[in-house]
Amino acid sequence: MAPTLRDGDRVIVALTAYRRHAPRIGDVVLLEGPGGLPLVKRVSALTSATGPEMMWVLGDNPAESSDSRSFGPVPVSQVRGRVAWRYWPPSGWGSIE
């Protein structure tokens, strides 16, 4: 899969996107990763087992990405918002799918 975002891209994050519902598979989200590091990843699976709801997140560029394959599933509560729009560079302007 081709990377949706590249280093240097500037995005707008919808911080209130998940107040009424949890992230959905395929959403690109901003989350608090290991050590509090902000990460942008795509949700690939959700679990609703007993305890906190967890999700599996993957980068769009597997060869260069640190994601759930290396640090495991993350709690949905660590999601800060949905990456909604890229505004820089101008050639990539538009919504994030």
Give residue 34's domain range.
Answer: 10-90
What whole-number distance in Å separates Cα of residue 15 and Cα of residue 18? 8
Q: What pLDDT, on the 0 to 100 scale, is given for residue 50?
A: 62
Residue bearing tokens 């209130």: 16
Of 39, 27, 32, the C-alpha closest to 66 is: 39
Query: From first to last of its 97 residues, what are the pLDDT tens digits of the chain?
Result: 567 888 889 999 999 999 999 899 999 999 999 899 999 999 999 987 668 899 999 998 888 889 999 999 999 999 999 999 999 999 989 999 8
Task: Provide the CATH number for the domain around residue 53.
Answer: 2.10.109.10
Which tokens go with 92? 């990539």
Asked if the structure places residue 48 within a domain, the reply is yes
Q: What pLDDT, on the 0 to 100 scale, is given for residue 79?
A: 97
What whole-number distance in Å separates Cα of residue 69 and Cα of residue 45? 12
Asked if the structure places residue 19 within a domain, the reply is yes
Asked if the structure places residue 47 within a domain, the reply is yes
